[in-house]
Structure 1
């Protein structure tokens, strides 16, 4: 049976990893506090839940479920919009936690690798890495969401950068949108590519056009 709450999902994963009750509870509180911080609007526990649900829906494609779930839980644990090393710092945080577990060193490194690959979705990805490809596609699936959901995401990201003046945010966001639109591949798996590539590019072009007009 699939647990219904995020804490229950974490508890199930912790049980498979053989974590002590103290480590399980302390780490969940740490992660929940990070994702529920006042500056989080999109990169929140809701985002984590969506990725976990996506991984569960496509579990037949997953080779190492524990590693994938750990990468999901930790990939945005460190998120400061004013820095460009969030992925590396999230990977370090994951490694610090995993050092307290019995997970094999190569699987710990694998968790860090998956997290670090989320830094730039437009870069070529290793071939034949189904867990990585599913993880990246799940993380990026909001781009191909229904129009209303996409605009909610775009506004939530703007809220996370609320300290950045509009003129600067517009310039940076336009660069991000143009880079995504220029990528020959947005989604790594045929399943997600067939379903989401066209609506994602439509959403990205719409947001870019809105910023070219002025603001959201």
Structure 2
């Protein structure tokens, strides 16, 4: 069952109340984040994506669950499909908020580090950083969704890039898909690798094939 916005707000305050004494600041920042994730240009990177990640991570054993959850909330706070600095700007927003917190500086930087690592999921990851690996796997869990959900995601991403003409989007998307398929590891945690890897690779191959033939109109057929 999907969370309501009020339930998401309650979860945000449960996380941040022990860290940020200023209730007004906590409420203001939640409203800012909610507005960003519900903006008119958002189709996949929405509050639903945040909710899905939180639910994925609820069952994980994490060393610093608060830092990971903060990274979830902020990791797509800035999302402009035409820019390449979204992760850096999202991390900066997190640090700006956390300056008013009791979180130790090293943990504040940890939140920023987690966000920064979402810039390229195919880069090598520290094998013993289990919090990071759980976080990244949750972010990519949509790739291993049932086919209908995956095609909905693919269309939503295309909508977010609607200002990019098909002539440019098609080769760019094909490159992204091929890069992910070439990655030796899509999911770093054993549980998600077993649950999602085969389906994710099937979905990625199917979308790549669609872009190599009829494009978006062929998706899901």
TM-score (norm 2): 0.94
Residue 219 of structure 2 corresponds to which residue in structure 1?
none
The number of residues matched between the two structures is 212
Q: What is the distance in 1 between the residues matched to 2:21 and 2:55? A: 22
Pairwise mapping of residues 1-216 of structure 1 onto structure 2 (< 5 A)? Answer: 5-58=7-60, 61-216=61-216
Unaligned runs of 5+ in 2: 217-221
Q: CA deviation at 1:14?
A: 1.6
Residue 19 and residue 214 in structure 1: after superposition, are their counterparts in 2 closer, same or farther (change >3 A)? farther
Q: CA deviation at 1:197?
A: 0.8
Q: What is the distance in 2 between the residues matched to 1:47 and 1:19? A: 27
Q: CA deviation at 1:57?
A: 2.3
Residue deviations 1:93-127, cap 9 Å, x none? 11111111111000000000000000111010012
TM-score (norm 1): 0.96
| RMSD (Å), alpha carbons | 1.1
Q: What is the distance in 1 between the residues matched to 2:191 and 2:201? A: 16
Runs of 4+ in 1 over 6 A off after TM superposition: none
SS at match of 1:16: coil
Q: What is the distance in 2 between the residues matched to 1:55 and 1:153? A: 20
Q: Is the 8 A contact 2:20 2:26 kept in 1?
A: no
Unaligned runs of 5+ in 1: none
Q: CA deviation at 1:199?
A: 0.5
